[in-house]
Structure 1
């Protein structure tokens, strides 16, 4: 856009040079006006080329001096009284409006274009220009601003689309790399840790033999490095990962959990942690109080709202919700955690009907 508007200004300056050289060779005011327009063009566009974009005060200087003051200076000091003679200076207003349309914010750009239009109306009225000449120049000025703004909007839009496409491509490549790395780790685990455990489980070797213990220690160190690397590269901020950690912890305490996840959205890390902690406490309640070794956890995203609903269900004996049983931790560990992040927890139960804990965010 800098180069495009520079070429546009250069075409107008070329018209001015030809007009002054052919008709006003002996008039120093004309040369001074042309030199002023050239100097402001160099300042505005030269600075933009060096620094990467236009500076607001330079654009305003170009609009006010080149676009607004220059025509009146020619009228007052050079005695210009014909539309054709004044026309080359009016042309510069069109290139000034194109720069203002892309370099200034909307309100300032509108003010600059209005000033340039008023300059055209007043200047051409002073020299008695016909309505056709006046309309043509005003139309050119407005069209220059509109087309420059449309081109600038289109280029920015295409740039955003390109950035988004590049981001998706990078994410896809990263996903493929993670999958390939995970597959390599699976193969290594199959050939080392799983092979060792299978051999020991089958009774083919003495688990206390020094060589077996040495191999187990070596493979345990490998597992620790693998887990540490995964934890460093993939922090558990996603709701699915946080809930899976709670499920794994419950399974480590001999509770079988059937977990299902569907359409989970991105949520803030503190929300994911609160949901996982509350779900973990609900699973702990199943293990401690429900007299059943099986629980069901379901997590779904709410369509269109970005919310999450997590339910923990057991088929135990249930209890009377009017009676607060000691040790359930529903008030602090479950309801309290959800309330802190703007969610809520509800419990649906009855004697002989099991317990259903629902965690909802946002409330």
Structure 2
């Protein structure tokens, strides 16, 4: 499968070939410089390395820091061979490599982004500036314009290449999410045509028969509601590593648990959303344990002012003053760790409002960012 990076590597290959031809033309126009044989030897090395890198960078398994390091060593070596070819410099002349030395800078930028591209530009520029400062070189000014162009090439190409990589990753994730959504819809149709209809029939017939069958019918109704909610939900994680807390909370909906959440997503980092949903699950477990398995409970979720708040409320016997502290001292850490501990780790707060005989309300808030 062709990756989005491949066009960048092909562009670098074209640049190397064109720059190699330009360096050969310069050598011919200069009559071979002071040492023609040495000049053509350097051009030969550049040609061989151009062919090698065109092949190496086209193979994904070969792209890596060893190849980048070798590319830079060959480029700097050919660049520093300029005095052996040209002898004493003349004002305004190009090195034996011409613009070919920019190929390594472009390769580093495509591989590692703008920062690595800038590092490569710095290395080549320092070698070029040192070359122009060789004693007897005859330059009174240094080629600052060439240095600036190298930095611009490395940074701009690296930045664009990195953006292209991210775009490809997000596109792939979007394709996977779309495929997951289609599969979910297919399963939902199959489940609706079979399992949900059976559960609805069991619920209805159980209520008609009564007795123990009524209990089976009630359980079937709860499972039907939970299963309908499950097949309705969209995939949790987005392409940015976030999750919709509403999706996670709706999983707790049943015949006894009512979940009320906004129609718009409550987007949180995936890990934060998972921990907050786990804290809500712990609160609902406490309701079932202390109020009874059939006790009704309500879950309310909202986002406002940079906070996401979830409230779990029941109409049970309430919590006596000091009871939570006594439970924590006795080693029963359901509220202390499963709820308060989780939310505290997320940088949030937990407020417990309870009066004996009036139910309990647990409010959990975490930063939305």
TM above 0.5, one fold? yes
Question: Which structure would you say has the larger Rg?
Answer: 1
Q: Is the 8 A contact 1:259 1:298 kept in 2?
A: yes
Residue 12 of structure 1, CA deviation: 2.9
Structure 1 residue 71 corresponds to structure 2 residue 82: yes
Task: Please name the residue that 1:212 is paired with.
Answer: none
Change (3 A) 1:82 1:149: same
Q: Aligned residues, how many?
A: 319
Q: Structure 2 length normalisation: TM-score?
A: 0.65
Task: Please name the residue that 1:210 is paired with.
Answer: none
Instruction: Give the whole-Å Cα distance in 2 for the aligned partners of 1:56 and 1:139.
Output: 25
Task: Please name the residue that 2:176 is paired with.
Answer: 170
Structure 1 residue 60 corresponds to structure 2 residue 67: no
1:122-271 equivalences in 2 (<5 Å): 122=133, 126-128=136-138, 135=143, 138-189=144-195, 192-195=198-201, 198=204, 248=254, 256-262=256-262, 263-264=265-266, 265=268, 266-267=270-271, 269=274
Q: Secondary structure at the match of 2:63?
A: coil
Instruction: Give the whole-Å Cα distance in 2 for the aligned partners of 1:357 and 1:179.
Output: 35
Change (3 A) 1:335 1:85: closer
Structure 1 residue 6 corresponds to structure 2 residue 13: yes
Residue 171 of structure 1, CA deviation: 1.5
Residue 260 of structure 1, CA deviation: 1.7
Unaligned stretches of 5+ in structure 1?
208-218
Change (3 A) 1:151 1:301: same
Match of 2:129 among 103, 114, 118: 118
Instruction: Give the whole-Å Cα distance in 1 for the aligned partners of 2:325 and 2:103.
Output: 80
Task: Please name the residue that 1:309 is paired with.
Answer: 310
Q: Secondary structure at the match of 1:321?
A: coil
Q: Structure 1 length normalisation: TM-score?
A: 0.66
Match of 2:362 among 341, 357, 361: 357
Change (3 A) 1:287 1:313: same
Residue 283 of structure 1, CA deviation: 4.5
1:12-51 equivalences in 2 (<5 Å): 12-21=19-28, 23-24=31-32, 27-50=36-59, 51=61
Structure 1 residue 272 corresponds to structure 2 residue 277: yes
Residue 348 of structure 1, CA deviation: 1.7
